[in-house]
Amino acid sequence: MRASISRIVVLFVLLSGSITLPVVSGFSRTLSGFSRTATTAPQSTSGLSADRLQRIDRALQQYVDENRLAGAVALVLRDGQTVYERAFGWSDKEAGRRMTTDTIFRIASQTKAITSAAILSLVEEGKIGINEPVSRHIPAYAHTTVAARNEGEMKVVPAKRPVTIRDLLTHTAGISYGTGPDVAALYEAKGLGPAAGFGWFTADKNEPICDTMERLATLPFASQPGEAWVYGYNTDILGCVVERASGTPLDQFVRTRITDPLGMKDTQFFLPSERRERLAAVYSSGPDGKITRAPDGPRGQGTYVEGPRRSFAGGAGLLSSARDYARFLEMIRNGGALNGVRILAPRTVELMTTNQVGTLHSTNGLGFGFGFETTDRYGANGMDAVGAFGWGGAYGTMYRVDPQAQLVIVLMIQMLPNATDVGQKFPTLVYQALAAK
């Protein structure tokens, strides 16, 4: 009798296509294959409280309900296993398209970690030296200048020494995004700074990234090499170095050496047209904190589906999904390898995730390695343990990796500008669910 009832239930499922199958790899699928509902792993295997993880649900849903976020995807791995994966709200509210866990996002500066990994893979091959001058690969950087203030007057002076690969990896080359008042007009005249959205956007440029970075070398930088931590075009220059040292366009190098081997099928610089419906729309925080749809162009939706597709910006150009980016981070957490595929050596990963700049980045317990911000003191970055590392992107995306807790934390949103505090609250909501320190 019980077997007969089971057959009837199965027949009903096949006809309706609406019942959810058992959890596989941290998420469940319906038989129709069109929808996904995230779940949490059993507490006994994840070490996280299922009840406390539900606080993430309530918090992120509240942002959506209060119209402070259109939508979000949150993902947590514990020792490589998916313990939390949920989609909230809308990927395109006006189009009525719901957010799903495989939605694709503009990750902006989260591109930097991947480009840094590309550079270091070439360092491992002996094609690049960490301490060598950038001019060995881009001769235009042999003699650079700095915009210095003397008695209230801005003067352009020669750099005291050449910019090195190490300077670029750690953001200590003195190179900004060219939006400061002293240099903004100079940068804008060369198609950079204010002429590139908020400074970092080059996806609409009809030229290779090396052409843009060679032009950058003719402009004055914000600080002398090695004397300050200055956030800017550093990793975009490294993208050009990858091309010059490998003889391969950056998009192809990243694909063949990092994303394809790791199975990151949704990570690329420009989106194939057939996937445009999976790309989340960009929203902006209004004066009242409520969302409005961001405009087209470099200060909003960008040029990631249509456009010249020639500028592969190693500092801010990639698109990705939460699951894809988590695979890259899990490779880093695992010492440079994932599922039998080695991308980097363990010693190289240690360089990436160890503070290399002393107190130049922060005097309050945060450092910067070769591509990641590091937590050097407990309490310097929320509940991050010492040894944790992470960063984020201009569209509001963020991530943390905490080797001590065996955690990878990814939050994807699309807000530019972003006035929410969700990026600060989300890691705390994950940490408070840990059943043990």
Instruction: Please check whether residue 273 is in contact with residue 408, taking contact to mean a CB–CB distance below 8 angstroms.
Output: no
Q: Is 158 helix (H, G, I), strand (E, B) or coil?
A: strand
User: Which residue is it, tokens 């080059």?
Assistant: 202
**Side chain identity, residue 126:** G
Q: Is 96 helix (H, G, I), strand (E, B) or coil?
A: coil
Report how far apart, in Å, the C-alpha atoms of 199 and of each of 42, 76, 144, 266, 317 are: 45, 31, 20, 25, 12
Cis before 417 (ω within 30): yes
Q: Please give the structure tokens belonging to residue 98.
A: 């719901």
Cα angle value 283/56/101 (rounded, 5°): 55
**In the chain, what are the helix, strand and coil shares in percent, each to the nearest 5?**
30, 20, 50
Q: Which of 25, 35, 46, 109 is catalytic?
A: 109
Instruction: Tell which residue, 116, 302, 314, has the closest CA to residue 196.
Output: 302
Instruction: Tell which residue, 57, 25, 21, has the closest CA to residue 41.
Output: 25
Report the length, in residues, of the chain. Answer: 437
The backbone torsions φ and ψ at residue 268, rounded to the nearest 5 degrees and listed phi first, read -160, 170
Q: Please give the structure tokens belonging to residue 95.
A: 């189009």
- Residue 148, CB half-sphere, CA atoms under 13 Å: how many? 13
The backbone torsions φ and ψ at residue 12, rounded to the nearest 5 degrees and listed phi first, read -60, -40
246 is a catalytic site residue: no
User: Which residue is it, tokens 């949490």?
Assistant: 40
Instruction: Please check whether residue 179 is in contact with residue 226, taking contact to mean a CB–CB distance below 8 angstroms.
Output: no
Active-site residue set: 109
